[in-house]
Structure 1
């Protein structure tokens, strides 16, 4: 029964969730392409422009925990619909900004609107999948991020080349065209996304019972759970996981924000060509997000995989900053991007080893909220270096340091989490859907 249930759940939920996150990721990363012309129009330095990223992630951090608690109250279907309508509307309205402060306000409002979507989905998955499936399912969900760049970067490059069409500048086309899909998909979300296993017709009573029994067994393994959702915020494992996770968005968003600028610096490229070239590393990221979580789930030892991937990210970025050949730089960036992204689904399987129920909602949100501040300060750190050196490539050293810290910190996190009772993997089933092994 297990293989059949998990296969059914996966094909019913994951493609749609990936699609939603793909749209979300495009809407938060489109500013990297708009920057190519909008920065000059607003008269901002590189560091000043990246304050928009800081504003987005500060708002995201402030409202993320409340958002996840409200998700538990109102249900995933209605709450995700609200999130998507608001973030799509804010993205479209960003096309109207004409001053730096309007730009900062728009990015802050986008953070408010989107807060809770990513950690909300991670919490949502804990209502459907036992622990031993979650790293791989998170990897499938995170597949949306490289797909967003593979599909979105050429699209945004082409939109940038529409400069002057219908009286809109290229950067305005980017915001309008990338915001509308979120509002359209919100209608679909309200109709098709279930709040949990109990309300669906495509699972039998026995299949729903199997999911409920598995999740109850894991909750029992954690001991008594507090009803207060904020109690998880006092758990030192949550606090340290949040600080640890800070390194990962710092690297991921720092690279994605500045990659169009790095490629544009190669010279002689149209916006469309820049879009296609910047999509190349994310083809390899997609492969990494499929392979690494799968291997980590099978091995049952997640920490070495996280440490290995972050080390690859640090080494790849360092090598990129040291070479001058553009083709070699793109190859090394591709390697580094795999290292930065591929270990994250494995990392996100760790909180559910010590959090369950409503505590998981607030704890996961707390980790993501604090950690995602790195998504703002990563681009800003590079921006400060770029303003002083006039070279986007040298700014990569800021990300090298973040990945190196993450590599070392992984072993400290292991000691912290494994020192206390946690959920353990069960050996009777492999997590490849449809196949069982010992």
Structure 2
């Protein structure tokens, strides 16, 4: 019997599951941060201050936090196909309804409900992918998956700028309303597609041959048996898991600071035209895609995570400092945004190899969700911090310096917790 070609097998798996998950992630993030572009018109139309906008953008993550762990536990029990479809359908509906907000309180309520609806998608996707890829393949798979995050900045920037400029007034709706609507409807369509087409797991993947299913199941089962047992309840008292929460929180402080405020930062550099703001916002995303691919392949090739993560955190921190230094210089300022975005977006695909090397079964679902939920509270803190300090001082540089300092803290924690062995995640989390 001819030996099974693993490269061909995982290529087949990637072509089957990654495009759907990446499109879902793209729409997820686009729906989450499109208020960054909507703000360019919404703030004037509805008379929202930067503090109101920052609080509304961030309150999404309080709802997200409340349902993240329960959502992923339910996903583990009922299956990814049903639950991810449910998530996308409910968040798509609520996202579209946001076009009707008129007061700060309505804005806060809709953002909070959107967070409740979307809770579980990203950790659910991470957990689902861990059921298809062994550890040695996850860096590349997650690096590819997270390209959708950078692509949302590239395509989203161009799309959002165009909608704001060319569709405002069409059908009696303002550009920001069309922006939210046009980026919400595709979510509903993808949610329906996932319900009917997504495979629940390896055993039910009729697009794999019997030999491929047996081989893949054997790889994954052997890896699961090699993991140290961590009880579901022990996840919440594991000191190393809490360290990972802090690392992920620091990463998200950088991610959401740049995501929610990039259009405003570019506008502050002296760029007035919304379409031009959209075009310039796409450049950091293009640079990040290249960076993410390089980091993912390099980390898998060398079997190393610690120094790759340290370099990514350092790039992000330096980028934020330079954003403050060059905040009134468009060319240098956009270059600083590119560096910050390259560093920030290269972090998550490397990071998720750490918890998935420790946890298995329902503990993995809960642990991933807990890390993601608590880490994403930075999504509340970052936009609110920038908005509050900008309103209080009339300046953005202080907030950018604070975000940079938090990224340095993340770097220090990575250096403290991550091992240097060929199995860095397991060594880091178990002490072996």
TM-score normalised over the length of structure 1:
0.92
Task: Summarize the alignment of residues 26-425 of structure 1 with structure 2, pairs less than 5 Å apart.
Answer: 26-161=30-165, 162-224=167-229, 226=231, 229-267=232-270, 269-323=272-326, 324-414=328-418, 418=427, 421=430
* Alpha-carbon contact 2:95-2:181 (below 8 Å) kept: yes
How far has the Cα of 1:269 moved from its partner? Answer: 2.8
CA distance in 2, matches of 1:278, 1:414: 33
Alignment deviations for residues 393-417 of structure 1 (CA, whole Å, 9 cap, x no partner): 5532122112111111111222696
CA contact (8 A) 1:261 1:392 kept: no
The separation in 2 between residues aligned to 1:233 and 1:160, in whole angstroms, is: 44
Name the CA shift for 1:422/1:222 in 2 (closer, same or farther; >3 Å): farther
| Residue in 2 that maps onto 1:14 | 18
Matches of 1:149 and 1:63, distance apart in 2 = 26
Displacement of 1:37 in angstroms is: 2.1
Supply the distance in 1 between the matched residues of 2:164 and 2:86 (Cα, whole angstroms): 29
Checking the alignment, whether the CA contact within 8 Å between 2:154 and 2:282 is kept in structure 1 is yes
1:354-373 residue CA offsets vs partner (Å, 9 max, x unmatched): 11111110000000000001
Please state whether the residue corresponding to 1:329 is helix, strand or coil. Answer: helix
Q: Give the Cα separation in 2 of the matches to 1:308 and 1:333.
A: 16
Alpha-carbon distance between aligned partners in 2 of 1:376 and 1:319, rounded to the nearest angstrom: 24
* Structure 1: distance between partners of 2:429 and 2:123: 24
Residue 157 of structure 1 contacts residue 273 of structure 1 at CA under 8 Å; is this kept in 2? yes
Distance in 2, matches of 1:203 and 1:273, equals 46
Cα displacement (A) at 1:218: 1.4
TM-superposed CA distance for 1:17, in Å, is: 1.0
1:51 and 1:389 map into 2 onto residues whose CA distance is: 17
Q: Unaligned 5+ residue runs, structure 1?
A: 424-438
Offset at residue 270 of structure 1 (A): 2.0
C-alpha distance after superposition, 1:215-261 (max 9, x if no partner): 111111124454xx444223222222112210111101111111100
How far off is 1:268 after superposition? Answer: 5.2
**Distance (whole Å) between structure 1 residues aligned to residue 254 and residue 413 of structure 2:** 15
SS of equivalent to 1:128: coil
Mean alpha-carbon deviation: is it higher for 257-266 or for 40-49? 40-49
Matched position secondary structure for 2:344 = helix
**Aligned with 1:395: secondary structure?**
helix
CA offsets, 1:43-95, max 9 Å, x none?
Answer: 33212221112211111111000000111111111111101110110010000
Deviates more, 1:266-275 or 1:85-94: 266-275
**What is the aligned-residue RMSD (CA, Å)?**
1.7
